[in-house]
Amino acid sequence: MAKKEKQFVEEITKMEDDFAQWYTDVIVKTDMVDYAPVKGFMVIKPYGFAIWEKIREYVDRRLKETGHKNMYFPILIPESLLNKEEEHVEGFAPEVAWVTQGGNKVLEERLAVRPTSETIICNMYAKWLNSYRQLPFLYNQWNSVVRWEKTTRPFLRTSEFLWHEGHTIHETAKEALDETLMIINMYVDLVEDILAMPVIPGKKSQSEKFAGADDTYTIEAMMKDGKALQSGTSHYLGQNFGKAFNITFSDRNGNLEYPYYTTWAVSTRLIGGLIMVHSDNRGLVLPPKMAPTQVVIVPIAANKDGVMEEANKIFDDLKARRISVEIDDRDNYSPGYKFNDAEMKGIPVRVEIGPRDIENNQALLFRRDELSKSEASLDNIGQTISDLLEDIQSNMLEKARKNRDERIYHAENMDEFVDIIENKHGFAKVMWKDNAENEAKIKELTGATLRVIPFEQEELGETCFYTGEKADYMAIFAKAY
């Protein structure tokens, strides 16, 4: 009658064989996530949630340092409010979950489970704002949103996800634009410095921007299968919402004006990106700054004299350095099992220490990013490990950048473009003449979309690769999640 216990580390599908299945195996078998009883929804388990908490702590700290404050707006939005900004409702209405009954009563008006909070926030800002002296409003909230999706994949696209959403209003267009750009640059810091994911920051085309925005700024990352992941966005919405919701203030001359609005977000989607940029066929590879456990110590022959003592010494040394460390002293698993388990979980450094190591005054250090082992003297092992963690953090970013740069190709014509997208599985950088219809045609033909107009422009030529007309700018196209 007894249930079975797992006594082996489960196999992960190879990413070369089936990238999608590899991804699913990694997130499910490392206990990051599970499927919820409602289709398209996910349960984020402690190991996945600990990663989200690190993202959250970083962003929350940076936002507070730059004068932003947190608030909380209700989860339910009346349909009439959602309908007030025309482009916005067109973008979101098809994805809304509707509450139609409260307690035993059928509601007179349907209520949307928030797909995003612009409409309810603008409704309140209109009530609160009177004078230019109150501006800017620099507010943010952490919550979950619901968007009814047909095809879902945990972290990447789910019917509910966690995020933060910033909503600021400003006296002038310039201030609002500065805010939009400050935030997208903060996201670059987050994703590159902490998640070790190289990104290309820039602007979206008009057809790819947020529903209701004047301009959307984005950071785009490349996954190991060559697809793009939009990893964070910051929107400049001008006065559109101000006008739709009648948000006004007395300006410095006593005239009524509409404020300029910005919104921005990163979400649990980033965790999906983190996995698809770094991980491998053994499982997760986590950069030290994102790893819930940075170092695991595995004692070999733990019952032998001195082994546990030495393991505990290293543990205390690392703790004192504020390194997150665990000793795997489970007595019902073999060292081999523990090695595999720690590798699958992406723990950046593993320390192996047994009687023979102690005789030689050393321990073995295994680094997850390079799958390589080295010997380290016990004399200064705390410092050695601390340096190693820093090296892993920067190595992972550089390695990911190299992988990505090797797969960004310049396309001078449609043949080259199709080859890049369909055979080389990379990003196509092209000179581009702004044209929404042509974007749609390319999407239909190849599945690739205009991901970003990079801030850092290169002079690849003078004419649009698609039409031969004079080009407006360099753009990057790719297939995307």
Enumerate binding residues for a copy of itself (CB under 8 A): 1-6, 34, 36-38, 41-46, 49-50, 52-53, 69-78, 81, 94-105, 110-111, 113, 120, 123-124, 127-128, 130-131, 133, 139, 143-144, 146, 148, 159-160, 162, 248-250, 254-256, 332
Q: Tell me 422's DSSP state.
A: I
381-405 and 269-278 helices, crossing angle to 10°: 90
Cβ distance to a copy of itself smaller for residue 292 or 382: 292
- In the complex, what is the shortest distance from the CB of residue 40 to a copy of itself, in angstroms, rounded to a whole number? 9
Cβ distance to a copy of itself smaller for residue 4 or 437: 4
Q: Which residue has the tokens 């080389």?
A: 424
Cβ distance to a copy of itself smaller for residue 130 or 394: 130
Q: Which residues contact 16 (CB under 8 A, 6 or more apart)?
A: none
Q: Which residue has the tokens 């987050």?
A: 190
**Rg of the chain over all Cα atoms, to the nearest angstrom:** 25
Cβ distance to a copy of itself smaller for residue 234 or 268: 268
CA separation, residue 297 to residues 327, 351, 363, 370 (Å): 5, 5, 10, 18
- In the complex, what is the shortest distance from the CB of residue 324 to a copy of itself, in angstroms, rounded to a whole number? 12
- In the complex, what is the shortest distance from the CB of residue 427 to a copy of itself, in angstroms, rounded to a whole number? 31
- In the complex, what is the shortest distance from the CB of residue 165 to a copy of itself, in angstroms, rounded to a whole number? 14
Cβ distance to a copy of itself smaller for residue 75 or 418: 75
Cβ distance to a copy of itself smaller for residue 57 or 86: 57
Phi/psi of residue 52, nearest 5 degrees: -60, -40
Q: Which residues contact 375 (CB under 8 A, 6 or more apart)?
A: 360, 362, 363, 364, 365
Cβ distance to a copy of itself smaller for residue 139 or 187: 139
Measured CA to CA, the distance from residue 12 to residue 475 in angstroms comes to 36
CB neighbourhood size of 417 (10 A): 22
- In the complex, what is the shortest distance from the CB of residue 399 to a copy of itself, in angstroms, rounded to a whole number? 30
Residue 385 identity? I
- In the complex, what is the shortest distance from the CB of residue 295 to a copy of itself, in angstroms, rounded to a whole number? 19
- In the complex, what is the shortest distance from the CB of residue 69 to a copy of itself, in angstroms, rounded to a whole number? 4
Measured CA to CA, the distance from residue 22 to residue 14 in angstroms comes to 6
